[in-house]
Amino acid sequence: MRAPAPTRISIAALVAVIGLLAVFGGTRPDSVSAAAFIVTKTADTNDGTCNADCSLREAVVAANALPGHDNISIPNGIYALTGAAGENASATGDLDVTDSVSFNGSGMTTTQINGSSIENTIEVFDSAATLILTDLSVGNADGDGVHAAASNVSLLNVVVGENTDDGVETTSGNVELLSAWAAGNLSDGIVTTSGNVTVTRSTVSNNGDDGVETATGNIITTNSTISTNTSDGLVVEDANITVNWSTVALNESEGVQATESGLIVFHGALIANNTEADCSPTVEASDNSMDTDGTCDLSGGEVSNGTANLGPLQNNGGPTLTHALLTGSDAIDAGGASCPEDDQRGEERFQGAACDTGAYEGVSTAPTSTPTAQATATPCTGACPTATPTTETIRTHTPTITTTPAATTTTAPSTGTPPAATATANTGGEGGDTITPPDTGTGPGGGHSGPGLLVAAMLIAVVGMAAIAAGRKLLR
């Protein structure tokens, strides 16, 4: 008897088993291709069907009924929710999400999901679900704009504002902002208990409490602005805050606060003109950064107790609001020679002798104007009137969420309206600009046992069985 034969049989049998497992054991009932739903009307109807006549609510109900990460396309318009609060199947009131889904709007301020002051605007109940919002605004909730408990939430080119509680709240779910704006919420802009929060090329401003708050989740900001919040800009308890090339300014309590055992790390950060203190406690590590009151205890060679000379929070280009660095700002050229290629707006960095600290890179000739009076807008319970100028030099900018479907446009302060939402190329080590669902085996991009995979698995099984037969002939 030839010794190699059993080895051949074993390998062939293994191939066959793998093929059979791929056919019979590798296909899960929920491994289906993502479904796509197209909203065709702004009226908030619910007849149980999403076909050629499909409301946003009907699309959400249909997506909930199917496994896998589905996609809902939403054209421009005002989608004012109706009906009573208190049920959790998206039949009335808020939009209740029970499975992973993407809401794909047509513009940051032109596709509006209006909570109509009923309850939370969007609520996610499945702890394993992922919610992705793109190119739209969410607001006017009697509660949170988005409430997701243990689910992960991603906002790309999104405004979340004018809510009576938080912009986005989760318990353990992670929150990601990319080219987004969380503003004008009566409580926190973004809050989570143990989830991590990542803020990239985004602005969190003019919220009634903290800008971003976590208990045990880490906060990372990159090329972002955290400004004019009523309490702290960024705050954690037993977690870490990392501020990369971001501006944390003009918050009415601390700029950056770690209340218990949390640590603070700065890279190219501009922490400026916060009312009580720029930092509490001092930072653990820093480079190429600046504060304006000396409370951050920055490393040698950085700018401590400098003069920021910031312009107003306004549209300086890009999809979100920023503070320009005016002539005489100590932040100009204070960031060293190594920085991301672009700033928050997508403008090229290293315009002068060195990089500028914070989210904004000044042009070679910095603006020479001084801060001027800005329009003031506040969250409103009904239709928001057009904001009028005040005598304050630094104050609030909030998105206005129209409360009735009769309106066709969003009204906001002339200096506080986000520009057209256009994601810019992301360079300088920040990661990609697109937000995609995680590969869970059911959503787009991963784990599908479609017809092609099934056929391939069956071929593997056939080849394996043939190999077994050949091996047996050798034994004879």
Residue 399: is its pLDDT beyond 80? Answer: no
> H-type helices in 177-241, by residue range?
none
Q: CB pairs under 8 A, 24+ apart, for 189-193? A: 189/229, 190/166, 191/166, 192/217, 193/217
Q: Which of 130-134, 291-295, 455-459 shows the lowest mean pLDDT across its residues? A: 455-459
pLDDT value of residue 33: 58
Q: How many whole angstroms separate alpha carbon 405 and alpha carbon 331?
A: 45
What is the domain partition of the chain in residue ranges?
4-27+449-475
Q: Judge whether 43 and 5 are in contact, CB under 8 Å.
A: no
pLDDT value of residue 165: 98
The mean pLDDT value for 15-26 works out to 37
CA dist 116 to 82, 161, 241, Å?
7, 13, 35
Residue 200: is its pLDDT beyond 70? Answer: yes
pLDDT value of residue 439: 37
Strand-pairing partners, residue 348, are 342
Quote the tokens at residue 405: 């479907």
The mean pLDDT value for 99-108 works out to 97
CA dist 104 to 72, 74, 241, 362, Å?
6, 6, 30, 33
Residue appearing with tokens 């950085």:
302
Residue appearing with tokens 């199917």:
66
Q: How many whole angstroms separate alpha carbon 81 and alpha carbon 71?
A: 20
Residue 118: is its pLDDT beyond 60? Answer: yes
Quote the tokens at residue 139: 């607001």
pLDDT value of residue 422: 39
**CA gyration radius, the chain:** 26
pLDDT value of residue 364: 53
Dump strand ranges (E) for 31-89.
36-38, 70-73, 77-80
The 10s digit of each residue's pLDDT in 119-135 is 999 999 998 999 999 99
The mean pLDDT value for 160-169 works out to 97
The residue among 260 and 141 whose pLDDT is bigger is 141
pLDDT value of residue 310: 98
249 three-state secondary structure: strand
Taking alpha carbons only, the member of 311, 291, 449, 464 closest to residue 374 is 311
The 10s digit of each residue's pLDDT in 361-371 is 987 554 444 44
The 10s digit of each residue's pLDDT in 405-448 is 333 333 333 335 555 433 333 333 343 343 433 333 333 233 33
14 three-state secondary structure: helix
Q: How many whole angstroms separate alpha carbon 439 and alpha carbon 358?
A: 34
Residue 15: is its pLDDT beyond 80? Answer: no
Phi, psi of 351 (to 5 degrees): -85, -20
Taking alpha carbons only, the member of 189, 187, 196 closest to residue 158 is 189
pLDDT value of residue 417: 53
Residue appearing with tokens 């513009």:
107
pLDDT value of residue 274: 98
CA dist 459 to 15, 22, 38, 392, 453, Å?
11, 10, 37, 73, 10
- The H or E element containing residue 63 is helix 56-64
The mean pLDDT value for 28-32 works out to 38
Residue 28's pLDDT band, with cuts at 50, 70 and 90, is very low
The 10s digit of each residue's pLDDT in 308-349 is 999 999 999 999 999 999 999 999 999 999 999 999 999 999
Taking alpha carbons only, the member of 214, 248, 207 closest to residue 230 is 207
DSSP 384: P
- The H or E element containing residue 389 is strand 388-389
What does DSSP say about strands 310-314 and 322-325: parallel, antiparallel, or unpaired? antiparallel
Q: CB pairs under 8 A, 24+ apart, for 27-31? A: 27/449, 27/454, 28/441, 28/442, 28/449, 29/67, 30/67, 30/68, 30/442, 31/68, 31/441, 31/442, 31/447, 31/448, 31/449
- Which residues lie closer than 8 Å to 5 by C-beta, 6 or more apart? 471, 474, 475
The residue among 23 and 184 whose pLDDT is bigger is 184
* CA 468 centroid distance within chain: 53
- Which residues lie closer than 8 Å to 14 by C-beta, 6 or more apart? 464
Averaged pLDDT score across all residues of the chain: 78
Residue 251: is its pLDDT beyond 50? Answer: yes
Residue 23's pLDDT band, with cuts at 50, 70 and 90, is very low
The residue among 31 and 390 whose pLDDT is bigger is 31
pTM of the complete model beyond 0.85: no
The 10s digit of each residue's pLDDT in 224-243 is 999 999 999 999 999 999 99
* Packing angle, helices 4-20 and 451-475, rounded to 10: 160
pLDDT value of residue 395: 29
The residue among 110 and 2 whose pLDDT is bigger is 110
Question: How many CA atoms, within 13 angstroms, populate the side-chain half-sphere of residue 57?
Answer: 23
Dump strand ranges (E) for 201-353.
203-205, 212-214, 219-222, 225-227, 234-236, 240-244, 247-249, 254-258, 263-267, 270-272, 277-280, 285-287, 290-291, 310-314, 322-325
Residue 300's pLDDT band, with cuts at 50, 70 and 90, is confident
